[in-house]
Amino acid sequence: QSVLTQPPSASGTPGQRVTISCFGSTSNIGSDDVYWYQQLPGTAPTLLIYANDQRPSGVPDRFSGSKSGTSASLAISGLRSEDEADYYCAAWDDSLSARVFGGGTKLTVL
């Protein structure tokens, strides 16, 4: 049972816009920034979004993040086949004094 809650799966067709949600609480998302990681099959995770809505250099602007209260979202526009991956949200949890991850969302491009 993950501290941050994500839907286990999401899907879309090429060109579509897809959003992935991440629900937390006042001790994590409500009091800290949210980070998103992309994990392509068989590879290590990579940083996709930091500080809620910032993209590291090299990440396409098709990827965007937002946060409101105790929840956050990752949006992917202009969906491409290479976006098929697992996506994880993360935040610091003040109560646990630990970084916590969501359970991950497997994105399928139909």
* 63: contact with other proteins by CB under 8 A: no
Task: Identify which range of 11-19, 32-40, 59-67, 70-78 contacts other proteins by CB under 8 A.
Answer: 32-40
3-state secondary structure of 82: helix
Q: Give residues with Cβ within 8 angstroms of 51, minimum separation 6.
A: 33, 35
Q: Give residues with Cβ within 8 angstroms of 99, minimum separation 6.
A: 90, 91, 92, 93
Q: Which is nearer to other proteins, 33 or 84 (CB)?
A: 33
Q: Give residues with Cβ within 8 angstroms of 52, minimum separation 6.
A: 33, 34, 65, 66, 67, 72
**Cα 89 to Cα 1, 33, 75, distances in angstroms:** 14, 10, 12
Q: Minimum distance between the CB of residue 14 and other proteins, rounded to whole angstroms?
A: 26
Of 15, 16, 40, 51, the one binding other proteins (CB under 8 A) is 51
Q: Minimum distance between the CB of residue 98 and other proteins, rounded to whole angstroms?
A: 5
x/- contact string, 85-104, with other proteins (CB under 8 A)? ---x-x-x---xxxxxxxxx
Query: Which chain residues interact with other proteins by CB under 8 A?
Result: 2, 32-33, 35, 37, 39, 44-47, 50-51, 56, 88, 90, 92, 96-104
